[in-house]
Amino acid sequence: MSAAAELGQGVKAVIPAAGMATRFLPATKAVPKELFPVIDKPVLQHIVEEAAAAGIGDVLLVTGRGKTSMVDHFDRRPDLEQRLTERGDKERLEAVIAPSELSEIYTCRQSEPLGLGHAVSYAETHMHGEPFAVLLADEFIDPKHELLSRMLELQQRTGGIVLALLEVPPEAVSRYGVAAIEAAPDSDDVVRVTGLVEKPPADEAPSNLILIGRYVLPPAIFGAIKETEPGRGDEIQLTDAMARLLDKGVPVHGIVFRGTRHDTGEPAGYLRTIVELAWDRDDMGQFRDWLATFMEEQKDA
Ligand code: G1P
């Protein structure tokens, strides 16, 4: 086992995936966006792989109406496996079995979409009073960056909350949770978070460091969520619950992530993600050549 994977041993994760994905309508009317393919794997598999690379082998998926097919992807498929075995198609057989070996997947249903904080609150009994990770299903990060392992390690050292932060142009902050920070003396990418605000207007944002969808949270978050009134968008916001803990003196740290975040939560980011990943794949040479030619042709057009 890699050193990175050792950190997550025994740690559980929750993936809130009950949203209606309105930014992708009508595609998401009947198909969960978490199952959209990024080349040949669904978005959700990339996320569970990210958790597994950090050693997390227990994932609670918070699902919603019309989204139960997500769970099937992580189950075995004996009929398909038998067909591929008969054909001697070892490569596809391994690819079909792989998702079921990444993690134990547990599910529960969020009956009403009352916000991210509300979705996370479903994890309370599953986490048995231990710190846990939250991975939002809109985005993923290449496990080679070891972001989640570093977050787990930092949480084990500092306690409290650990967040992944990303610097964005100031005009983009109002779509995200935003952190006020002060630099930690001993690190170039670890910061102390001194304030948290959900989707502030750009001119009121405390910084241009946004919360991307990776969190390591202490069990005290569940009490804080219960005390949190609906906020931005009239939803119970996780950011507001974390801000409550911060006010009570719970330490909050952030890691400023400087690699590529694959944002699959809206159509342009989804397309970008597919191109970025295809660019790195040996078997996508023809696609790369086509894309380079296509771009040249567009310049001349
Ligand atoms: C959620 C969080 C927000 C965070 C964002 C990251 O917002 O509430 O704080 O910055 O995810 O993707 P949503 O995208 O669900 O509106």
* 249-259 pLDDT tens trace: 999 999 999 99
What lies within 8 Å, CB to CB, of 259 at 6+ separation is 141, 142, 145, 147
Distance CA 301, CA 287 (A): 21
Q: What per-residue confidence (pLDDT) applies to 2? A: 77
pTM: 0.95
Ligand 1 atom index nearest CA of 238: 8
- Of 79, 62, 60, 191, residue with least CA distance to 130: 60
What lies within 8 Å, CB to CB, of 113 at 6+ separation is 18, 19, 20, 64, 235
At 287-301, the pLDDT tens digits run 999 999 999 999 877
At 226-253, the pLDDT tens digits run 999 999 999 999 999 999 999 999 999 9
Q: Say if CB 254 and CB 163 are below 8 A apart.
A: yes
Q: Is the confidence at residue 185, as pLDDT, over 70?
A: no
Ligand 1 atom index nearest CA of 239: 9
Q: What per-residue confidence (pLDDT) applies to 105? A: 97
Q: Is 198 in the pocket of ligand 1 (CB under 6 A)?
A: yes
Ligand 1 atom index nearest CA of 139: 12
Q: Is 176 in the pocket of ligand 1 (CB under 6 A)?
A: yes
Distance 158 CA to ligand 1 centre (A): 24
Ligand 1 atom index nearest CA of 263: 12
% of the chain beyond a pLDDT of 70: 99
Q: Is 138 in the pocket of ligand 1 (CB under 6 A)?
A: yes
Q: Which residue has the higher pLDDT, 20 or 238?
A: 238
At 118-131, the pLDDT tens digits run 999 999 999 999 99
Neighbours of 298 (CB within 10 A): 8
Q: Is the confidence at residue 206, as pLDDT, over 80?
A: yes
Average per-residue pLDDT for the chain = 94
Q: Is 297 exposed, middle or buried (0-12, 13-18, 19+ CB in 10 A)?
A: exposed
